[in-house]
């Protein structure tokens, strides 16, 4: 395993299983002091609830000291160069967790960092979310291998990391998106290559009703991600047929579960009360952000 976790492919398909199994153990009471006397810097250029909270409390549970810098504070690449910020922080802190816009920025940061860097979301990937998703699916299905997941929505950072995570876990992911918002072919090809020995697969289509047939999990995300606020109205029109609602869930497998990385926009990508439907596993999924991030940090620190 690479010392940085910038994109999902930085971990092997073997690591996915190990990290998510460990997350389940930590959740059921197993203890770890792996960050004792160590500091974790959280450097966030976009808003965050689950990621920030999960890392903050998770670092404390691992015996470490979390230090948070919000969007106004550091000015990564504007007030100070990415290289200089990286060189300073990595001389003092022991692990760095970054949420930013351009993926290139975190990549550049990692080049100059002498300590591990974790991607807490960029425009390109959201790999920590995907780890929590695998943990959640393992907790809710008898077998993740061979299961079918339908992602209805944007070919974005969340669906991109999920492609690697699911294919790498032996699951079959179908991504249904409108034209112009489909996931790129490079991701599909790379995810299918990454999963060559797992039996998993990723495909894309445009019909959401076809995508959910026999699905064990239906997953969605916002139509306009952070940084795309100006496109909100255009996207609303393009994604109109892609709302996940009770009727769509009824078309899937009898025991289908519903997932969303949150925050949600009721009456847009989901119907008004879907988060509270008995088939929703959205809130345990959000809790798992913390457990899987703890398991990830533990693995990275032990490998250092």
**Interaction site with ligand NVA (CB under 6 A):** 121, 126, 156-158, 221-222, 225-226, 261
Q: Could you give the C-alpha distances from 269 to 22, 156, 158, 191, 303, in angstroms and in order?
A: 32, 14, 14, 25, 40
Do the beta carbons of residue 41 and residue 96 sit within 8 Å? Answer: yes
Q: Measured from the CB atom, is 128 or 191 closer to ligand NVA?
A: 128
- Which one, 46 or 209, has the nearer CB to ligand NVA? 46
Could you give the count of Cα atoms lying within 13 Å of 237 in the half-sphere of its Cβ?
Answer: 3
Least distance in angstroms from the C-beta of 213 to ligand NVA: 25
Q: Minimal CB distance to ligand NVA: which residue?
A: 225
Quote the CA–CA distance of 55 and 61 in Å, as a whole number: 10
Quick one: 22 or 204, whose CB is closer to ligand NVA? Answer: 204
R_g over Cα of the chain? 19
Question: Residue length, the chain?
Answer: 304
Identify which of residues 153 and 170 has a Cβ nearer to ligand NVA in the complex. 153
Q: How far is the CB of 214 from ligand NVA (least distance, A)?
A: 26
- For the bound state, the minimum distance from the C-beta of residue 33 to ligand NVA, rounded and expressed in Å, comes to 30
Q: Please, what is the minimum distance in Å from the beta carbon of residue 204 to ligand NVA?
A: 17
User: Is the four-CA dihedral 274, 129, 34, 98 of positive or negative sign?
Assistant: negative
Nearer to ligand NVA, 127 or 200 (CB): 127
Compute the least distance from the CB of residue 142 to ligand NVA, in Å.
28
Name the minimum Å distance from CB 114 to ligand NVA. Answer: 29
Nearer to ligand NVA, 57 or 264 (CB): 264
Judged by beta carbon, residue 126 or residue 148, the one nearer ligand NVA is 126
Q: Are 146 and 31 in contact (CB under 8 A)?
A: no
Least distance (Å) from ligand NVA to the CB of residue 179? 19
């Amino acid at each position: 395993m690479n010392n940085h976790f910038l994109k999902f492919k930085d971990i092997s398909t073997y690591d996915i299983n190990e990290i998510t199994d460990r997350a389940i153990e930590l959740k059921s009471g197993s203890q770890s002091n792996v960050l004792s006397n160590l500091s974790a810097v959280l450097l966030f250029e976009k808003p965050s609830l689950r990621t920030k909270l999960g890392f903050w409390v998770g670092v404390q549970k691992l015996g470490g000291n979390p230090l948070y810098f919000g969007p106004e504070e550091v000015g990564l690449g504007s007030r100070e160069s990415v290289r200089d910020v990286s060189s300073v922080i990595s001389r003092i802190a022991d692990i760095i967790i970054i949420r930013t816009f351009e993926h290139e920025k975190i990549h550049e940061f990692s080049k100059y960092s002498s300590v591990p860097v974790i991607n807490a979301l960029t425009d390109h990937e959201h790999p920590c979310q995907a780890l929590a998703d695998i943990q959640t699916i393992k907790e809710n299905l008898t077998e993740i291998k061979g299961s079918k997941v339908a992602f209805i929505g944007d070919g974005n950072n969340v669906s991109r990391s999920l492609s690697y995570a699911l294919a790498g876990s032996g699951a079959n992911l179908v991504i249904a998106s409108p034209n112009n918002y489909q996931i790129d072919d490079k991701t599909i090809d790379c995810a299918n290559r990454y999963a060559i020995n797992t039996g998993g697969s990723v495909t894309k289509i445009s019909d959401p009703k076809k995508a959910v047939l026999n699905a064990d999990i239906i997953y969605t995300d916002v139509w306009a991600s952070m940084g795309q606020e100006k496109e909100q109205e255009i996207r609303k029109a393009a994604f109109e047929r892609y709302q996940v609602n009770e009727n769509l869930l009824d078309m899937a497998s009898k025991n289908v579960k519903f997932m969303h990385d949150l925050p949600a926009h009721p009456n847009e990508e989901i119907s008004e009360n879907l988060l509270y439907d008995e088939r929703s596993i959205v809130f345990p999924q959000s809790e798992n952000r913390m457990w899987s991030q703890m398991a990830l940090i533990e693995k990275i620190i032990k490998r250092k």
